[in-house]
Amino acid sequence: MISITLATAQGVRSVGSAADPLDGADTTSLVAASQGGFWALVRHRELFHVAPGRAEAIARLADSRAWCLLEHAGRVFIGTDDAGLFAWADGALSRVRGFDATPGRSDWWQPPGRRPATTWSLASDSDHLFVNVHVGGILRSADRGATFAATIDPNDDVHEVAVGPDRQLWAATGVRGLAVSADAGASFRYHDAGLHARYLTCVAPTDAGALVVASSGYAAGDDALYRFDPARARFERCNVGIPPELGGSLDARQLVANGRTAAIATPNGNLYLSKDAGRSWALAAADLPTVRAIVIGL
On average, the pLDDT of the chain sits at: 96
pLDDT at residue 114, as a whole number: 66
Q: How confident is the model at residue 293 (pLDDT cuts 50, 70, 90)?
A: very high
Q: In the chain, what percentage of residues exceed pLDDT 90?
A: 94
Q: Are 212 and 261 in contact (CB under 8 A)?
A: no
Q: How confident is the model at residue 17 (pLDDT cuts 50, 70, 90)?
A: confident
273-284: pLDDT as tens digits: 999 999 999 999
DSSP 3-state of 106: helix
pLDDT at residue 52, as a whole number: 86
Q: How confident is the model at residue 8 (pLDDT cuts 50, 70, 90)?
A: very high
Judge if the upstream peptide bond of residue 76 is cis by omega within 30 degrees of 0. no
CA distance 172 to 158: 6
103-122: pLDDT as tens digits: 999 899 987 766 689 999 99
123-175: pLDDT as tens digits: 999 999 999 999 999 999 999 999 999 999 999 999 999 999 999 999 999 99
Mean pLDDT of 251-263: 98
CA distance 279 to 85: 36
Q: Are 100 and 133 in contact (CB under 8 A)?
A: no
Give me the architecture of the 151-286 domain, per CATH. 7 Propeller (2.130)
pLDDT at residue 79, as a whole number: 98
Other beta carbons within 10 angstroms of residue 207's beta carbon come to 13
The number of helix segments (H) and strand segments (E) in the chain equals 1, 27
Phi/psi at 164 (nearest 5 deg)?
-90, 175
- Domain residue spans of the chain: 151-286
pTM over 0.75: yes
Does 205 have pLDDT greater than 70?
Answer: yes
pLDDT at residue 298, as a whole number: 87
The candidate with the shortest Cα–Cα distance to 163, out of 180, 146, 147, is 180
25-43: pLDDT as tens digits: 999 999 999 999 999 999 9
Phi/psi at 279 (nearest 5 deg)?
-70, -35
Does 13 have pLDDT greater than 90?
Answer: yes
218-255: pLDDT as tens digits: 999 999 999 999 999 999 999 999 999 999 999 999 99
pLDDT at residue 113, as a whole number: 61
Q: In the chain, what percentage of residues exceed pLDDT 70?
A: 99
